[in-house]
Amino acid sequence: MPKVSVKVKWGKETYPGVEVNTEDDPVVFKAQIFALTGVQPERQKVVCKGVTLRDDSWANFKLTNNALVLVMGSKEEDVPSAPVEKTKFVEDMNESELATALDLPEGLINLGNTCYMNATVQCLKTVPELKNALLSYDKSSGGGTAGELTSALSETMGALEGGGAGACAGAAARLLRALHATAPRFAERAAGGGLAQQDASECWAEIVRALQQRLPAAPASAPIDAAAVSDRTSVIEQYFGGTLDVELVCSEADESPSRSTESFLQLSCFISQDVKYLQSGLRSKMSEQITKMSQTLGRDAIYTKTSKISRLPAYLTVQFVRFYYKEKESINAKILKDVKFPMDLDVYELCSPELQERLTPMRTKFKELDDATVETSLSARNKNHGDSKKENKKKTVMPYWFENDVGSNNSGYYRLQAVLTHRGRSSSSGHYVAWVARGDGWLRCDDDTVTPVTEEEVLKLSGGGDWHCAYLLLYGPRILEIPEKDEEPMVTEVADDTAGNPPTALA
């Protein structure tokens, strides 16, 4: 009887009808208790018929329907504190106090080697269009295991948006259960009996695949040529999907080049001895030699495969290919090489000539704005009495997509917004962490511990040692914000204005 309904008693509180799945790890049940009581799993002592529940095994802890489960333990806020609270500076605060003081978002509790899932969710949460689609998802729409996974992720996004630690713990437990149902390999056990560590990239791909099936494409804000978007039926394909124009040229025979198109949801950066920067790793993948059957020669021959991007997605996912299979040890060993990645990425040179031509108008606007910003900065520096209120001008936000292609990128410019890192020597061990941009700063989401970090710390995640190495990068579109022009020029000595309205910058 893997599923039973029990009664949980904690102090004076009783919670009847708590559903427990004994096929899950006991820590999942403890996460449910945390969601109900607010008692952290490590503070819990869970007893039934005199037997105490362990973290890694149900062992002799037998549950039946309507069994009474006693929980002992106190919430952190219930622990007695000193009568006089001294003033604390930020540098003296622990992580919990820092999160409260800085109004940091919630994290996701580790349910036993589930950091790979937690880090993936935190990175995907940085995409507002995807988050909004999940928050409005109809959880009763069915859809099999893909629908269950999408519903669980929708609940998790809602909990992270303001449901509190308890709601986040319960949602994470249900998300894990849905992930196991969708991809049973994630339920594999380690030698000690607990859940085995998994590859975050595989988890990312599995979640995106389910969302691709269940989240319909966002409606266009203006009439669109149906032929231009007919193949983009989901939010994932709209905002994460790109297209490559591929040309194959045989190096050993006089054959006509073959041309085709390929779709992608992420780009790969292969790491070789010569690759020191993300851009060079991406370039090397765009031109490579492959072996395939030649109809002219009647045998395998070497072909040069050249790829050019013909459709850029709004959100560009890049995977560093850091793991390779080591047959002797039967593990996915890790390449620790330092490969630098930028905060601002320009992929113009990776695009087809046709797409480059379409990108040019928006790139010109970015250049004009950058030049005007530099000119204004130099002008203000030369005026000791410059008006700082100019910085508060209203701005017009320009669309980052092409008019006939919602979810595309119309400039080729990207800004880094999430990094998923791995620390360890193989993909099936170690620890995964998400580093996400928020406002002008960055946050490190290490399971349920969220702390602020600097941009410099994020750029140090490029590898080269046993510290966290970037494994997946998520770039979002650079947004063009054009300051609105004042109706009247702003000067330090303002003359009486009897005809015009006050400048919008002062409003």
Selection from 108, 132, 111 nearest residue 120 by Cα: 108
In 3-state terms, what secondary structure has residue 56?
coil
> From CA 478, how far away is CA 412, in angstroms rounded?
9
> From CA 172, how far away is CA 195, in angstroms rounded?
15
342 Cβ contact list (under 8 Å, min separation 6): 278, 279, 416
Q: Which residue among 115, 203, 351, 445 is the active-site one?
A: 115
> From CA 266, how far away is CA 309, in angstroms rounded?
12
Q: Is 115 marked active-site?
A: yes
Looking at this protein, which amino acid is placed at residue 150? T
What residues pair up with 263 in beta bridges, in sequence order?
A: 243
Taking the CA atoms of 274, 278, 280 and 281 in sequence, report the sign of the dihedral they define. Answer: positive
Q: Which residue among 168, 385, 422, 431 is the active-site one?
A: 431
Greatest alpha-carbon pair distance for the chain in Å reads: 87
Q: Is 385 marked active-site?
A: no
Helix pair 128-135, 144-160: axis angle to 10 deg: 110
In 3-state terms, what secondary structure has residue 131?
helix
* Cβ(231)–Cβ(219) below 8 Å: no
* Cβ(315)–Cβ(474) below 8 Å: yes
136 Cβ contact list (under 8 Å, min separation 6): none
- Residue 499, CB half-sphere, CA atoms under 13 Å: how many? 2
Selection from 358, 351, 403, 24 nearest residue 195 by Cα: 24
Neighbours of 25 (CB within 10 A): 25
Neighbours of 108 (CB within 10 A): 29
> From CA 39, how far away is CA 33, in angstroms rounded?
7
> What does the block give as tokens for 155?
């609940």
Return the active site residues: 115, 431
